[in-house]
């Protein structure tokens, strides 16, 4: 074929494409691969939250707790662009501390360093900009190295209600939050991992996403505060909305055994869950390394909730996932 013939063939091919209403440079994505952000979204994105490179900060705030009968504190980190976007509302993530802890634990340099992790997830698009809250999980006895905090409504204070209901309402009154429980997550480490699951299960009107690092699921106070037992009694509609993430270090023998048993119960109840085991033990190094895993899961659930709400997802949320 000579040069003139090649030009004729190329012109003819283009005319056919145009006649069919197609462009030779455009390929349609399959529906399941379409970007969620092409649809109207209630979730903030980096494009409308200001400079994604902005370093996050946190504050310790005070409020009067009617439930605990005293002033209580919590830590808060607002997402980038919060002040510049006064009409934008945000998802919320509660991070609970463990034994002998306080609201700064998840933030400070030698412990959680959570804001560094959150900044990385924002920059990679794995977590929508969110309001991060670190409650005070200690009861009326205060913090002690000799005992874990009691994330229950018990003789030392109604901590479960204080964190899971009262503080939620304080946060909703002070900040621009999405109110749907599908955009609220609660998680923690060690006894805070148990606390997050326990508080979440007792406040399902506020939380749908629960996560635990190195937690346990059977508490000495009894079955009402033992998630492995209590979860069997919650209503079926609530079970269908729950999404739960669990992980433990392989050297954390008791905690990983607890997580395996709890994951087995979740699978039997057909509650959506992800259970993972990683090298490591009961240390801040482990929790720092794997906060990104739980928050990536949280980000996926926020986006799933949006997709499910707008009918653009074909994912079956009732399908269990259980990874070793």
pTM for the full predicted model? 0.83
The verdict on residue 187 lying in a domain is yes
**pLDDT below 70 — which residues of the chain?**
1-41, 46-53, 310-324
Place of tokens 């909703």: 172
Which is it for strands 157-158 and 70-77: parallel, antiparallel or unpaired?
unpaired
Round to whole Å and give the CA distance between 94 and 199.
11
Cα separations (Å) of 243 from 195, 198, 233? 16, 14, 16
137-155 per-position pLDDT tens digit: 999 998 888 888 999 999 9
The verdict on residue 125 lying in a domain is yes
> Which domain does 216 fall in, by range?
56-309
The verdict on residue 18 lying in a domain is no
249 close to 279: Cβ distance less than 8 angstroms: yes
The verdict on residue 142 lying in a domain is yes
pLDDT of residue 311: 40
Report the 3 state secondary structure along 227-245: HHHHHHHCCHHHHHHCEEE
| b (16+ CB within 10 A) / e for 206-226 | bbbbbbbbbbbbebeeeeebb
Question: What's the CATH number where 197 sits?
Answer: 3.40.50.1820
Cα separations (Å) of 311 from 56, 301, 315? 33, 15, 10
Question: Taking the CA of residue 166 as centre, how many other CA atoms within 13 Å lie in the half-sphere pointing to its CB?
Answer: 22
227 close to 201: Cβ distance less than 8 angstroms: yes
pLDDT of residue 316: 39
pLDDT of residue 42: 74
Q: How many structural domains compose the chain?
A: 1
The verdict on residue 78 lying in a domain is yes
pLDDT of residue 53: 58
Which is it for strands 272-278 and 243-249: parallel, antiparallel or unpaired?
parallel
pLDDT of residue 301: 98
| b (16+ CB within 10 A) / e for 6-41 | eeeeeeeeeeeeeeeeeeeeeeeeeeeeeeeeeeee
Question: Taking the CA of residue 167 as centre, how many other CA atoms within 13 Å lie in the half-sphere pointing to its CB?
Answer: 33
The verdict on residue 19 lying in a domain is no
Q: 315: exposed, middle or buried (C-beta count within 10 Å: 0-12, 13-18, 19+)?
A: exposed
Token pair in block for residue 195: 């606390």
The verdict on residue 270 lying in a domain is yes
pLDDT of residue 12: 38
The verdict on residue 175 lying in a domain is yes
């Amino acid at each position: 074929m000579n040069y003139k013939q090649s030009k004729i063939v190329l012109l003819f091919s283009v005319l056919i494409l145009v006649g069919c209403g197609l462009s030779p440079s455009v390929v349609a994505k399959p529906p399941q691969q379409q970007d969620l952000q092409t649809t109207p979204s209630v979730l903030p994105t980096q494009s409308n939250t200001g400079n994604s490179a902005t370093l996050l900060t946190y504050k310790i705030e005070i409020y009067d707790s009617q439930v605990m009968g005293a002033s209580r504190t919590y830590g808060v980190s607002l997402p980038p662009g919060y002040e510049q976007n006064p009409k934008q509302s945000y998802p919320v993530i509660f991070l609970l501390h463990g034994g002998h802890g306080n609201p700064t634990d998840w933030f400070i340099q030698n412990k959680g360093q959570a804001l560094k992790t959150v900044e990385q997830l924002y920059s990679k698009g794995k977590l929508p900009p969110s309001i991060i809250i670190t409650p005070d999980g200690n009861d009326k006895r205060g913090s002690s190295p000799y005992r874990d905090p009691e994330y229950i409504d018990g003789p030392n204070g109604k901590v479960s209600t204080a964190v899971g209901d009262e503080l939620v309402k304080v946060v909703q009154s002070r900040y621009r939050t999405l109110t749907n429980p599908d955009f609220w997550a609660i998680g923690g480490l060690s006894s805070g991992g148990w606390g997050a699951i326990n508080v979440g299960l007792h406040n399902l009107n506020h939380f749908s996403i629960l996560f635990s690092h190195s937690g346990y699921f059977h508490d000495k106070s009894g079955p009402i505060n033992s998630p492995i037992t209590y979860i069997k009694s919650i209503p079926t509609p609530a079970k269908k909305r729950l999404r739960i993430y669990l992980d433990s270090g392989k050297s954390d023998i008791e905690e990983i055994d607890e997580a395996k048993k709890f994951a087995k119960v979740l699978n039997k109840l057909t509650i959506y869950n992800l259970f993972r085991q990683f090298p490591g033990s009961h240390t801040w190094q482990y929790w720092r390394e794997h906060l990104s895993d739980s928050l990536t899961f949280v980000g996926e659930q926020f986006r799933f909730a949006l997709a499910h709400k707008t009918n653009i997802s074909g994912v079956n949320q009732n399908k269990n996932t259980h990874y070793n």
